[in-house]
Structure 1
Amino acid sequence: MSAILLVEDSHLVRATLHKFLAREGHDVTDCASGDEATQLLKQGRFDLVVADLWMQGGDGLQFIRQARASGNAVPIIAITGGDPRSPIANSAKAAGEAGADRVLMKPFAKTTLTSLVGELLEGQNRMEGHGIGL
């Protein structure tokens, strides 16, 4: 079982993703803001983060930048429906520049998320198995 931190400000989206990831066998901790996620990441060990980019109370880009600046190399999947102030393609570019490992544009299929989570967790386990800590 992998520990996943889910960061999403929309209650409906957060509940849906939480339920889906938990059904896949993951231990999911969720929160509604980047500020809260920053604190949770400092307190606990997570194998993966799924974070919305555009939220109130500390957005996902700020959260990702802070995680990377602190040296945390946990794999991060950024999810976004786009920045309301700019073209949607800018969100993916901004997420990559902030340090996200992958970006999913909303709406996305559950199988796409499952595949990506599996890919990143498998890559992390392979690196830990070779003595490369994350």
Structure 2
Amino acid sequence: MGIGKLSKSQDVFIMKKLIFVYISIFCVVLSMLSCKKNYIEMTIAGRNHRYWLKKSHATKSQVYYYFDRQGRWYIYDRAYKASVLTKYDGGDIMLIEKCSLINDTTINIGGMEYCIRECNDTLLVIKNSMFTDTLICLKSLPLVR
């Protein structure tokens, strides 16, 4: 055996080490992606549920989104100068009251896909093909009827 040449058993050993390294890197990347998705789910829905105020300049009434860990999404409305929130039923429009995180940048809310532009404990900015919504997290729970 000369310098620079490896035996067959050494080649197999090196190949096994390389395969182990590649699999380890793949697992680390996969777990990091999973952690980010879990972080976003926790940020949007909290431990159980969370209310978000939809920022709007057009009306004096207020719209709130409710997200929970079971994938439910509801819209609540507070009429101008009212003290309690009322669950919005959609009127003639049938609402799909479900939400799910597709990946760390996309969320499905009520059957519509939104791109997550910003997501932290105080602000959630989501965008679809028609509009952008800015939601502000509520630290205290509103009065719900």
TM-score, normalised on structure 1?
0.27
Q: Kindly indicate whether structure 1 or structure 2 has the higher relative contact order, using CA contacts under 8 Å at least 6 residues apart.
A: 1
TM-score, normalised on structure 2?
0.26
Larger fraction in strand: 2
Larger fraction in helix: 1
